[in-house]
Amino acid sequence: MGYDLHVTSNGSDDWDDGNGLEAFDFHGSKIDDDASGLDALPEYAVAHDDHDVGLDSVPHYTENEIEEDDSFVALDDEAAPEDQERVPVVQTINPPGTVTVTAYLDGSVAQVKLDSKVTKLTEAELADEVRFVAGVAAKRATAVMHIGVVDMLVEQGMDFHEARDFVGMNMPYATPEQAGEAELALVARHSDR
């Protein structure tokens, strides 16, 4: 498959007369810079204001006082309001206590906390540790979902073993055994160090 490209020259005295598409052998209609694609819709027609206004139409806020916003305070110290719904999460901490990963029950990472001791690790080591701990947190979190769905199916009248097999085969949740194996692997990973 080949493409033909025809280059035409306009000469040195009229270099800015065209729209640059002549080089591609494209001769479209002249573009109206003042038109909006929404002009075709009557209720969305754009009012044509004086375009030379520039930043004059932007309100000036220089006289307003800037209020100190301390929104970067650690949120863990604050208690959740009574009316705010709490989202269930699972937390996994590596044995040295340097990496803590909190995961939602769907296995996605909600938060990663690092201890100051992680500065002793290289960037690659830290990335590998965070990835490993996040994987364990995800398995633990989805195992909670696995148990919940199995329990729900048993409450609906399904046999426990059938429900467990059904969830294991048809849903993306780790089994409690898989979550336990992941935790053991995390411990073993640090016992070798």
Q: Phi/psi class of residue 11: alpha, beta or left (left: φ > 0; alpha: ψ in -120 to 50)?
A: left
Average pLDDT value over all residues in the chain: 74
More confident: 183 or 24: 183
Residue 65, pLDDT score: 47
What is the rounded distance in angstroms from the CA atom of residue 145 to the CA atom of residue 123? 33
Share of the chain above pLDDT 90, in %: 53
On the question of pLDDT at 186 being above 80, the answer is yes
Structure confidence at residue 176 as a pLDDT band (50, 70, 90): very high
- The share of the chain scoring above pLDDT 70, in percent, equals 56
Note the pLDDT tens digit of each residue in 103-148.
Answer: 999 999 999 999 999 999 999 999 999 999 999 999 999 999 999 9
pLDDT at 87: 87
Give the domain range for residue 154: 98-191
182 domain-assigned:
yes
What is the model's pLDDT at position 81?
61
Tell me which H or E stretch contains 114: strand 109-114
User: Residue 25 has what DSSP assignment?
Assistant: T
Kindly state whether residue 37 falls inside one of the protein's structural domains.
no
Question: Is residue 108 one of the residues assigned to a domain?
Answer: yes
User: The pTM is what?
Assistant: 0.57
pLDDT digits (tens, 9 = 90+) for 58-110: 344 444 444 554 444 444 455 556 667 888 999 999 999 999 999 999 999 99
Q: Check residue 80 and give its pLDDT.
A: 55
CA distances from 30 to 19, 34, 48, 66 (A): 9, 12, 19, 48
∠ CA(53), CA(57), CA(61), 5° rounding?
140
Report the range of poorest mean pLDDT among 12-16, 64-68, 178-182.
64-68
26 pLDDT more than 90: no
Confidence (pLDDT) at 35: 53
Q: Residue 192's pLDDT is what? A: 72
> 9 lies in a domain?
no
Position 154 in a domain: yes
- Give the chain's domain count: 1
